[in-house]
Chains A and B, each alone.
Chain A
Amino acid sequence: MNQPIKGGRGVNALPFVAPSVVILFVWMIVPLVMTLWFSFQRYNLLSPELSGFVGLSNYSFLLTDPSLWIAMANTLLLVGGVLAITVVGGTLLAVLFDQDFFGSKVARLLAIAPFFVMPTVSALIWKNLLMHPVNGVSAAIARALGLQPVDWFGQWPLFSVTIIVAWQWLPFALLILLTALQSLDHEQKEAARMDGAGPLAIFWYIVLPHMGRAIKVVVMIETIFFLSIFAEIYTTTGGGPGLASTNLTYLIYLRALLEFDVGTASAGGVIAIVLANIVAAFLVRSIARNLDA
C-alpha cells in the first residue's frame, strides 16, 4: 500500500518544497549565526560604544558566574521533577482511563483539559486561587485541618513551579500514553489472563513493554519543552526569591531583556542550544526509525 506513484512523469517536486525549506533554513540559520557571533562580542545595548570582539570571555564570565550553575541546577531539578511526575502519573492514569467505567468518556475529557489552558492562566490560577498563603484554597484546607498554611512561593518556589508545570503536562502524557495503550491487542491480555496472570503481572510484562516506545517519545518531547519553561516562572516568582526559581531560559531572559547584555545572553543562548540538541539528537533518531515503519 501507499507506494509512491512510479514514474511521476518527471514531476519535479522541488518548487513545492523549496519555499518551506528556504524559509525554515533562514529562520534557523540567521538567529544561530547571530547568537554565535554576539557570544564572542562585548555588546551591551546601554553602552554600545564599548562593543568589540572579546573572544571567549563571555563564556568564561558565564561559566565562572555562580548564577549560571544555580540556573543549570534549577533547570535539571525542574525538568527531572516534572518528568518524574508526568511519566509515572501519566502511565497510571492511562491505564485507568483505558478501562470502561461510568461516564469514562466525560471523565477523560475533564482529565485532559489542563493541557489546553494557556500557561499564564494556569500560573496565575495556581498562584492566587489555589496556593495563596492567606486566601488560597490550600490555605483554607490547611486551616481546616488545624495546620499552618504553607507559603508556597516563598518557601518552596521551585517546587511550586514544578507542581504547576506538572499539572499542565500530566494530561499530555496521559493523552499520548492512552493512545498507545489503545493500540494494544486485547486478545493478548485475555490470553495472559487465561494463563493465570494477575493484573500486576499483565501490567508489568505486557502493558509496560508495549508502552515503552511511547514513554520514550513523551520523555523526549517533554524534555525539549521543559528546557524552555518561561511563562510559568515569569508570572509567578519572577525567578525568585533571589535565583531560587531561575532556570537557564529565565536567566538568559534576565541578562538580555532586563540588563541588555547581548554578549553574555548570547553565550547563554549557545549553551541552551547545545543542551537542547543533545536531547534532540535522541528524539530525532527515535522518530526517524518510525518514519520507515
Chain B
Amino acid sequence: MRLKLDRHAALSVTGWLAAGLLFFPIAWMLLTSVKTEIEAVATTPSLIFTPTLENYVAVQERADYLKFALNSVVVSFGSTLLALALAVPAAYGMAFFPTKRTRGTLLWMLSTKMMPPVGALVPVTLVFRDLGLIDTLAGLVVVYALINLPIVVWMLYTFFREIPREILEAGRMDGATPLDELRFLLLPLALPGMASTGLLAVILTWNEAFWSLNLTAAHAGPLTAFIASFSAPEGLFWAKLSAASTMAVAPILVFGWLSQRQLVRGLTFGAVK
C-alpha cells in the first residue's frame, strides 16, 4: 500500500513536471502580457508584480489589430465552409455508393496534400498576381479551402462510414431519394462529425503561415501576419507582443482542446484511431 502510494506520487510529480515544462512558454507569454513593458524586459524577471490589462487595451486600440483579427475569422470560417460544401457531397458519394475507383480516388486526394507548398509558390503567386487576388480575402479563402479539402473529405468519409446502414435502408424502403436521404437522414446523423471536421479545418487555417505570409500585405493579412510584423522592428514591445499573441492563440487553444480526439483521426487520415 505504502509502495503504491509512493509510486502514485512519483508519477504525479513526473507528469506535472513534463506538462509544466511544455506549457511554460505559453504560461510565460500570459504572464508577460499583464506586465508593463519595463517589467517585461527586466533582466531579472519578477514573479511578483501588479498585473495590468493596459497591453490588451493598447493592442485593441491599434487600428489595424481588429482588421487582422477579422481577416483571420473570415478566412478560416469562409475557407472551411467552402471546403465543406465541396467535401460533403464527395464524401457522401464515396462512402455510400462506392465503386472500384473510390479507393484510388481517396488515396489520390491524400497524395495531393503531400505537394510541398513551396513547389507551388511561384505559379500561385504569378496566377494570383494576374487575377488580382494577391492580398485579398477571396484569394486566401480559395487557397485554404483547397489545401484542406483532402483532409476534410477524408475525415467526413470516415465519419459517414460509421453511420449505420439500416437507417438508410429503412428510409429507402419508404421511398426516399438519395437527395432526401442526404438532407433528412444523413446530415442530422453526421452533424457531430461534420462539426469536428470543420473545427479541425478552422484550426489548421487559423494557424497556417506559409501562404498567409506570402500572399498578403497590408490589406488581407490575418493574425499570423500581424504577429510576424512584431519581429521586424527591434523595439522591445514584448508585453504588447504577448498580449496580441494571447488573443490570437486563445480561441484556437479552446477549439483544439475540445476536439483533440477527432483531431487525431483527421491528422493521420484515419490511420490512427
Contact = CB atoms under 8 A, between A and B. Distances in A.
B253 A16 contact: no
A66 interface: no
A111 B25 CA distance: 11
A214 B231 CA distance: 37
B23 A113 contact: yes
Interface in B48-102: 86-87, 89-90, 92-94, 96-99
A32 B127 CA distance: 13
A269 B121 contact: yes
Interface string A233-275: 0111000000000001100110011000010011011101101
A257 B214 contact: yes
Contact of B90 (A11, A19, A38, A167): A19
A30 B97 contact: no
A27 B245 contact: no
A134 B234 CA distance: 14
Contact of B86 (A20, A102, A140, A287): A20
A228 B225 CA distance: 18
Contacts of B203: 116
A179 B256 contact: no
B113 to A, nearest CB: 8
A286 interface: yes
Interface residues of A, number: 111
A129 B25 contact: yes
Given A97-B15, A107-B15, A16 B25 contact: no
A12 B97 CA distance: 8
Categorize the interface residue count of chain B: 35 or more
B231 A129 contact: no
B115 A28 contact: yes
A136 to B, nearest CB: 9
Interface string A5-30: 10011011111110111011001101
Interface string A132-151: 00110101100100000000
Contacts of B267: 172, 176, 221
Nearest to A93: B18
Contacts of B109: 20-21, 24
B110 interface: yes
A125 B18 contact: no
A76 interface: no
Nearest to A5: B165
A27 B112 contact: yes
A47 interface: no
B28 A272 contact: no
Nearest to A289: B271
B214 A2 contact: no
B67 to A, nearest CB: 17
B128 to A, nearest CB: 11
B74 to A, nearest CB: 16
Interface string A219-240: 0010010011011001110000
A277 B114 CA distance: 7
19 contacts: A5-B97, A13-B99, A17-B90, A17-B93, A31-B115, A32-B115, A99-B11, A107-B15, A107-B16, A112-B260, A118-B249, A125-B29, A127-B231, A135-B43, A179-B264, A180-B272, A276-B115, A283-B114, A287-B270
